[in-house]
Amino acid sequence: MLETIWFLLWGLIWAIYFTLDGFDFGLGTLLPFVARTDKEKRVVYNSMGPFWDGNEVWLITAGGVTFAAFPTTYAVMFSTLYTPLLLILFTLIIRAVSLEFRNKISSPSWKSFWDACLFIGSFCPALLFGVAFANIFQGIPFDANFIFQGNLLTLLNPYGLVGGILFVALFLVHGAIWLAIKSDGALHRRAKATASGLWIFLLVMAVIFLIYSWFATTLYKNYLANPVLFVLPLLTVVALLLTRFFIAGESFWKAWFASGATILTAVLFGVVGLFPNLFPSSIDPALSLTAFNSSSSQLTLTIMLGVVIVMVPIVIAYQTWAYYLFRGKVDEAMLASKESY
């Protein structure tokens, strides 16, 4: 029972991380395409500035949960996916540094360099997270000794790349909607048009991914065995359609929540399809690491559950307050502040 609870918590925490940090990835990736002046670029930076580091708390939590609740899975995951995970780490560091360093010197070349770093530090993690999770969905080629039988190019297979592109599309739409919320004038109009245009691309990629998953994975096995679970992909479709509806009606806060629900339910669709597997082997399904054969002791899981019940509401409370406090648009007063990016 505890293993199942922790499996669901593991999937939910990853889904929350992608929902929250997703718009940061989207904003950074969109920066070169939607922001034309230095002021507009600063609006993009300050749109994510008060939130990005708080959002990454969920990434640390997801990694911590994997390590503490499923240590064997953690060990094998970080050895077999060492290269992409290391690339994600480096690019996340680049993103953090670019946010802090861009405004230190007024030189245009200095700012352009860090703008490029922000793009790299946003696009690459978005793509690589999608590639990593898509490969987990279809199975990782590791043997009985947990040795990865492949390299980075092995992971850049067609299904993995489709998953990566889908993640990028989800985050781009999410980020464009957030920028529409936080901006005014020409940048606001550009953000709205970008969100509308990218939504069509996202719809196409979602359909391709769902169809491809039928042939490349066993994700649908749990759904066919328990048809009630199909409510999850149905919610994803509804949330995706509502996103477009609210964008058209210029109800951007509603559109952002609908977009967040799309990301949340899309990730949970894959997690529920995986159960009980956490890290399946494509070489031999019997070698797969599951919630039951790779978990910590019952005592550890019990103690950790108590910690989560206490700490997670605190994290949610302070993040909710931060979002409420900085809910307004990025205006002249914010840009003039010494604390601005």
pLDDT for residue 35 = 93
What's this model's pTM, rounded to 2 decimal places? 0.94
Asked if residue 260 belongs to a domain, the reply is yes
Asked if residue 278 belongs to a domain, the reply is yes
Count CB atoms within 10 A of the CB of residue 153.
7
**How far apart, in whole angstroms, are the C-alpha atoms of residue 340 and residue 48?**
11
pLDDT for residue 208 = 96
Q: For residue 283, give the nearest of 79, 155, 142 by alpha carbon.
A: 142
Q: Which helix (H) or strand (E) holds 40?
A: helix 38-48
DSSP, collapsed to helix, strand or coil, labels residue 147 as coil
pLDDT for residue 334 = 76
**How far apart, in whole angstroms, are the C-alpha atoms of residue 298 and residue 268?**
25
Asked if residue 309 belongs to a domain, the reply is yes
Asked if residue 136 belongs to a domain, the reply is yes
Local confidence pLDDT in tens for the 341 residues of the chain: 899 999 999 999 999 999 999 999 999 999 999 999 999 999 999 999 888 888 998 999 999 899 999 999 999 998 888 888 999 999 999 999 999 898 888 888 999 999 999 999 999 999 999 999 999 999 999 988 888 888 888 899 999 999 999 999 999 999 999 999 999 999 999 999 999 999 999 999 999 999 999 999 999 999 999 999 999 999 999 999 999 999 999 999 999 999 999 999 999 999 999 999 999 999 988 889 999 998 999 999 999 999 889 988 888 898 999 899 888 888 777 777 777 77
Q: How many domains does the chain have?
A: 1
**Which residues span the domain enclosing 12?**
2-336
pLDDT for residue 104 = 85
Asked if residue 341 belongs to a domain, the reply is no
